[in-house]
Amino acid sequence: MGHTLFAVGRDFYQAGRFGDAASVWKEAAIKGHADSQAWLGALYASGEGVGIDYAKALSWFLHAADQGNLFAQNNAASFYWEGKGTNVDLEKALHWFERAEAGGDVYASVNLGMIFYKGQQVVADHERAFRHFYRGAEAGSPLAQLRLGWMYLHGEGVEASRKKAFVWLSMASTHGCGSALEQLGEIVEAMSREEKASASVALQVLRQRLK
């Protein structure tokens, strides 16, 4: 029943009938359907079909997050991080980001990487940031791949490697990342013929592995 109601709500949402979507999703959410809870939370966060209410948004995100919904876990983490609908709570924010990352959410990996790379409300830790970016990069996030390439290039949190920087920046550039293309030009210019050949092979191996 919950899945059926969620699908009806999704059709309403895609048709721009946000109020109807909210009503249907609320019915399913009350019955415990995680996706409906997550998207109802998103409506309260955006004000589509309902009045903006961050406290209600967080409450529904948490209901869904407890059931393993990655979208809700990442959003609950962001709300605790920013203090939306609640007081700022870094411990809970990190908890939900890490739960989402453990479930395979690439956005959570990027968020955690940025937090520890920049030292946002925590002590900067480039080694920890590298681990989060690496996980996101392996999962296909262009932003994580860009950051990983940058860290390899400059030896931040990891031993510097022009070859590995080339590989990850090349991966990011395939998604149209302009800054990756700029950095690649500088790297290639500084590479020897042997380095270019070795890096090209490594790139092909990675592409095959991540297919």
For position 1, what pLDDT does the model report?
66
For position 134, what pLDDT does the model report?
97
For position 185, what pLDDT does the model report?
87
For position 179, what pLDDT does the model report?
85
Cβ-contact 134, 141 below 8 angstroms: no
How many CB atoms neighbour CB 140 within 10 A? 12
φ, ψ at 174 (rounded to 5°): -65, -15
For position 180, what pLDDT does the model report?
86
Give the N- to C-terminal CA distance of the chain in Å, as an integer: 36
For position 149, what pLDDT does the model report?
96
Q: How far apart are CA 133 and CA 111, in angstroms?
A: 9
Flag residues of the chain having pLDDT under 50. Answer: none
Q: How far apart are CA 129 and CA 33, in angstroms?
A: 34
**For 45-57, how does the pLDDT look when each residue is reduced to its tens digit (9 = 90+)?**
999 999 999 999 9
For position 211, what pLDDT does the model report?
82
For position 175, what pLDDT does the model report?
83
